[in-house]
Amino acid sequence: MTAQPEPIAAPPAADAVDTVAAAAGSADATQPYAELGLKDDEYARIREILGRRPTQSELAMYSIMWSEHCSYKSSKVHLRQFSEKAPPNTRMLAGIGENAGVVRVSDELAVTFKVESHNHPSFVEPHQGAATGVGGIVRDILAMGARPIAVMDPLRFGAADHPDTARVFPGVVAGIGSYGNCLGLPNIGGEVVFDPCYQGNPLVNALSIGVLPVARLQNKAAAGAGNVVVLLGARTGRDGIGGVSVLASATFDDESTQRRPSVQVGDPFIEKLLIESCLEIYDAGLVVGIQDLGGAGLTCALSETAAAAGTGMRVELEKVPLREASMAPHEVLASESQERMLLIVAPENLDAVLDIADKWGVAATAIGEVVEADDAQKGGRLVVTWHGATVVDVPPGSLADDGPVYERPMREPSDLILLQADRAETLPRPTTGDALRETLLRMVASPNLCDKSWVTEQYDRYVLGNTVLAQPEDAGMIRVDEATGLGVAVSVDGNGRYSRLDPYTGVKLALAESYRNVAVSGAAPIAVSNCLNFGSPEDPGVMWQFAETCRGLADGCAELGIPVTGGNVSFYNQTGSVAIHPTPVVAVLGLIENVAGRVPMGFRREADVIMVLGETRNELSGSEWAWVAHRHLGGLPPRVDLAAERALGAVVAAGARTGLISTAHDLSDGGLAQALVESCLRHGVGAQIALADDTPLDAFTQLFSESAGRALVSVPRGHEKAFAALCDEHGVPWTALGVVDPAGDAALTVRDQFTVSIGTLRDASAATLPGLFDRPAAVAAAAAPAAADPVTLAPTAPPAPGAAAPATSGPTTTGPTTSGRVTSGPATTGPATTDPAAAGPAAAGRSPAAGGAAGDAADAAGAAAAGAEPAGPAGAGAAEDSGSATKSARPAGGAADSVGSETGAASDADEPPAEEGAAPPAAPRSTPRGAAAKPTNPARRGKGAAGKG
């Protein structure tokens, strides 16, 4: 049995194409190399390598593989620092140069993750550009031998109120949601940022995570003469031809939206079948090497697999299944049609591979074979024929590895000194309580800080049942081993404004924030991936920013002791001569031994003591406040102290392990004020705080400074002394601010300054994106998936403060929950009935304008399978909408209903019990509104010095 498709029409005749023989006999023929992006000296070098002019197919291949996107010709000299400065590491199994980094997380399991860009296609055609970005990064993960288990999406757009943002933003979000949901992959985190610098050049970065047995790790080498080259997946069409060279190596202008033919078209249902067929092939041990087909299509896959093994390859191109019979050989080689993989298979295993492909309904075709290299030192030859005529005969290494490398001119931007001198700390600031309250509400409603449910409700966050934490938590967390509770946490962060002010410090701040987000969730950071988004490398100022960024990231990872496992560079992100802010996006992967020990971000226990960890300084330059209030960008970004970040992570880990903290949330954009708002809104409870009065910092600075290395924690009442001592032991400064409000009329109160109700905060935060981007709900007729028995974590409570955490918490299989498990995406083995192109905020029956209550109820049911922290109280209703903290009764139904549920009552797994025999905490109900109750510890501040309170 084979899975080779029937030809669909007569192909072009061989005598109509440019062959190697014809090229050798017409040395002076004029070729359009400049139009394909090649420089004069690059074209001359190609002729030198081949000893003749290239054929039309060869010219297309070199122009693609030597493009900035594929060859990294301007960035290689700087990226080497990631390897040269890498700290000693025993976990990394695959790193820079592979499809994705792979790190060992246990004796048997490894995790792979990577972040990539699909910026330019997403501007030209937002839905397909973003969708195929998800598909491409998922195939990178698949190519390493892993099952993809989650995706994330850091996104950046132009001004939120710009007309073109209204075209790009909804399309990108819908594309990500439709593709990921159809694959059955939870979307567990990301960013949504609006800034005028991204007008006309959005940044659509995509991250995927996968898990694999260590023994199943794959590579891309086409080893073994006589092995068969198999093309697996969708038919090849004209979509995406020249995509990486036409789009990713070019700037945008007014004609850019006319470049739609260069944007790939995705089919998530074929990708789902491709994933399952590949995993079955891996498990049967049937492949020698494998490579996904993404940017540069067959050209990249053929050359990279042959070059990796030092072998040659002979390919009969007419055997490639086509969607359009009239395609010429250079089009087949350059096509970036999606959902395809290239396999290297031993001849004796070919029938088994074709049988598996046939079982899953995936086309599989033997198109060539691996051949021995004539010269072991020089490697083999990649020979491609078209109906018997040779159209390509090149050294594969010359395409994959030996492209040009440039040390481009660099210089500090001429405006940087003046920009840094224009400090935001000197801007007018609010000084009264009423003005601070008004500023808080304005900040909460700003596009970058507002509620992002309009986006996240288009994504399925809890499908597969292993999501533990998802947006809006600080990090996404996924359980990877159901037997032990082992999990991984991932965060992805960046700040283009900080990098514009100081690229070296800016990337360190991005690294620090991502590291901190993972650490405060209870995981230990172990690896880094990155996506470096910049303007034109031909601009010396941009090149200086890029070099400083690489230096900063390499130095930062060395200081933190975690390696860079891989990443991506995206240049030419500019419109005309105006570049985006330098925007390095940094992803950090962390390991948690048992996801039952996770630390959620939202306040939930009344009378818990609220503390801020780390040092607050007068640091407002590059801040959200400076931009929202004054449209100001200038000064120097906040100081970064990576040793302090490590200490902060150690304190939170120790506090979580011993039950000394209930929640933790990082401080970043918007400072303490935003962290307080988000912690209150998460579960609809209030807080009463008193700002420090023994500091030179005024109330405004304490609330809105964006000093790094800080976190907001809540500590069970009666245990603040023990936690303060823990902070002192690790050298982490701490300040006791106040308490979590009792149930009732929830509000955020800052003593002597202002009070604002939770309902008012929620209304301000939730209205922004629906007001800007809402449109009629898409017509959908999705069939509801059948309820399944979820696998849940045992409802084991965390240890009492001071006690050791249990080593594992194995799963228990229970009956269905009272509400069943509801997901917003399709079943993972069958197609959805919604039209992906029409997916909108209400495509799954949800209304973003309603505050997401219905969607949260659905997510809460799905999240229970992994003891997750869902997005909000199930069936929040009027009480939640009005800002009330009234708690619902816990539903009956056992572990699956109680663990990780958000029906208003805190779950057992997240509720640290009081010490045995301790008096119950006194709720500060008698404290008058506007006068926060002080915690019971005698000192309100600690400098972090051991032995000092």
Which residues are annotated binding-site positions for substrate?
117-120, 139, 264, 336-338, 570
In whole angstroms, what is the distance from residue 93 CA to residue 165 CA?
A: 41
In whole angstroms, what is the distance from residue 349 CA to residue 372 CA?
A: 20
Q: Beta-carbon neighbour count of residue 163 at 10 Å?
A: 8
Helix or strand or coil: residue 554?
helix
Residue found under tokens 């090649």: 38
Which amino acid would we find at residue 514? Answer: S
**Angle at the Cα of 41 (from 36 to 43), degrees rounded to 5?**
45
Q: Could you tell me which of 631, 570, 626, 625 has the C-alpha nearest to residue 202?
A: 570
CA dihedral over 489, 494, 495, 501, signed as positive or negative: positive
Q: Could you tell me which of 841, 862, 857, 738 has the C-alpha nearest to residue 788?
A: 862
8 Å CB contact between 153 and 190? yes
* 521 token code pair: 């969730």
Task: Give the DSSP H or E segment for 206.
Answer: strand 203-213
* 302 token code pair: 């053929």
Q: Which of the following is catalytic: 69, 330, 719, 730? A: 69
Task: Give the DSSP H or E segment for 728.
Answer: helix 720-730
* 901 token code pair: 């549920």
Helix or strand or coil: residue 566?
strand
In angstroms, what CA-CA distances link 399 with 86, 110, 293, 389? 28, 31, 16, 21
Residues forming a β-bridge with 532: 569, 584
Task: Give the DSSP H or E segment for 329.
Answer: helix 329-334
Q: Using N-to-C axis directions, what is the helix angle for 642-657 and 540-560, rounded to 10°? A: 40
8 Å CB contact between 732 and 416? no
Residue list, annotated binding site for ATP: 72, 114, 530, 567
8 Å CB contact between 131 and 175? yes
* 434 token code pair: 């009423």
* 944 token code pair: 């972090």
Q: Which of the following is catalytic: 118, 127, 581, 665? A: 118
Q: Has 69 been annotated as catalytic? A: yes
Q: Could you tell me which of 111, 936, 155, 787 has the C-alpha nearest to residue 489?
A: 111
Buried b (16+ CB within 10 A) or exposed e, 524-536: ebbbbbbbbbbbb
Residue 358 phi/psi, 5-degree rounding, is -65, -40
In angstroms, what CA-CA distances link 530 with 154, 498, 886? 11, 17, 43
Q: Could you tell me which of 180, 729, 728 has the C-alpha nearest to residue 467?
A: 180
Q: Has 387 been annotated as catalytic? A: no
Residue 839 phi/psi, 5-degree rounding, is -60, 130
Q: Beta-carbon neighbour count of residue 838 at 10 Å?
A: 14
SS3 content of the chain, % helix, strand, coil (to 5): 35, 20, 45
8 Å CB contact between 789 and 894? no
| Dihedral in degrees, nearest 10, Cα atoms 58, 63, 69, 70 | 30
Q: Beta-carbon neighbour count of residue 521 at 10 Å?
A: 31
Residue list, annotated binding site for Mg(2+): 116, 140, 292, 568
8 Å CB contact between 343 and 353? yes
Helix or strand or coil: residue 220?
coil
In angstroms, what CA-CA distances link 127 with 571, 608, 835? 22, 45, 12
Buried b (16+ CB within 10 A) or exposed e, 67-96: bbbbbbbbbeebbebbeebbeeeebbbbbb
Q: Using N-to-C axis directions, what is the helix angle for 126-143 and 163-183, rounded to 10°? A: 40
Residue list, annotated binding site: 72, 114, 116-120, 139-140, 264, 292, 336-338, 530, 567-568, 570
- Laid out side by side, the sheet with 467-469 consists of 467-469, 476-479, 487-493, 583-592, 524-533, 564-570
Residues catalogued as catalytic: 69, 118
